[in-house]
Chain A
Amino acid sequence: MITSRDTADVLSMKFEAKFSNSPTFEYFVIMNAIASGYTLILLFFPAKSSCGHFILVLDLIIALLLDSSISACLAIGQVGKKGNSHAGWLPICGQVPKFCDHVTGALISGFVAAIIYFLILLYSLHNLMNLFTTSQD
């Protein structure tokens, strides 16, 4: 997402599309950067350490934030691709196709990351509480 950039000449006006043009994409970049840094740090932690509950809460928060960032970006991306005739917003993907493709790729990997993080959350829940066994043996 950070490297997505495209310029276009529309009616003799220079038109540049960067990810920082939209606060939504900035939010997406920041959230994914935090999530990847957090995952990197957690790689060095053993699975069932003493601060397991704290890690579970952090996992829940990060999964929540990842999901919200991808959802917001999908909403804005849909407007960018198809426009919104009722609000008079024209689609911009026709003018900056490279930017659009780049952003689409970033969103797809962000979506996969959100799904995988949800699975990680379920796994750490299971690890901590042995929830998927019935109470009576």
Chain B
Amino acid sequence: MASEGVEKLPEVGHEQVPVVRSKVDWLVPVLRLLAFFATLSATLVMALNKETKTIVVATIGTVPIQATLTAKFQHTPAFVFFVVVNGNASLHNLLMLVVNFVWKKFDSKGLVPLAIASLDLMNVVIVSGGVSAAAFMGQLGRDGNSHARWNKICDKFETYCNHGSGAIIASFIGLTLMISISTISLVRLRNTYNKIVLNSSVGV
């Protein structure tokens, strides 16, 4: 009777597990895909952010002297950091998306969900740093700082500013998605470990 009970359990488990799994299995991959697109678009938009403007500086006689001014994202270290961090985050999201589906074959110790959760946590913290630095830098460019005699540049380079703010907004969206992914995978980790603890205690 004991052997029958043991033999019956895996069958019941087999029928139940796919039903529960398919309901929530798609949530994290979809969020990750969205976060990947958000961070990728933020990286690309900011990396290709460039505007050239020719301004008449002075007039000598009847000949106007023109100066060409360029606004590039490389001029500001905050934006360089932003591009690097968002590129890293999009690569991380892509990698985790792939790992999500194939980790069962390579995992022998059960450490992969833990690694995914901790890497997610680190990327969330770093991306938040990049986003806030770029946002405050953009605010400085938009409003200037009268106390430091720093003039605003957004009235002259409107496209540059608009592209920059678009990239920052995309990164904010990506950050929110990454935070929710992180919380969901942490909660799932807790459930998995609670089940393992419960099973081991029942078995003993």
Interface residues, chain A, with chain B CB atoms under 8 Å away? 15-18, 21-24, 27, 53, 56-57, 60, 63-65, 67-72, 74-76, 78-80, 84, 86-90, 92, 118, 121-122, 125, 128-132, 134-137
Instruction: Check B109–A135 contact: CB distance below 8 A.
Output: yes
Residues of B within 8 A of A64 (CB): 124-125, 128, 179
Give the total of B residues in contact with A, Cβ under 8 Å.
47
Instruction: Check B129–A67 contact: CB distance below 8 A.
Output: yes
Instruction: Check A84–B76 contact: CB distance below 8 A.
Output: yes
Instruction: Check B148–A72 contact: CB distance below 8 A.
Output: no
Q: A67-B125, A89-B150, A129-B189 are in contact. Are A72 and B133 (CB under 8 A)?
A: yes
Q: A67-B129, A87-B75, A87-B141 are in contact. Are A17 and B110 (CB under 8 A)?
A: no
CA distance A118 to B186 in the complex (A): 16
Residues of B within 8 A of A57 (CB): 183
Report 17 cross-chain contacts, Cβ distance below 8 Å, ordered by A residue. Answer: A16-B147, A21-B145, A21-B147, A22-B147, A24-B136, A60-B121, A64-B125, A64-B128, A68-B132, A84-B76, A89-B148, A89-B150, A89-B151, A90-B150, A125-B186, A131-B117, A137-B200
From B117, B179, B186, residue with most partner A Cβ within 10 Å: B186
Instruction: Check B133–A21 contact: CB distance below 8 A.
Output: no
CB < 8 Å: which of B70, B111, B129, B151 contacts A71? Answer: B129
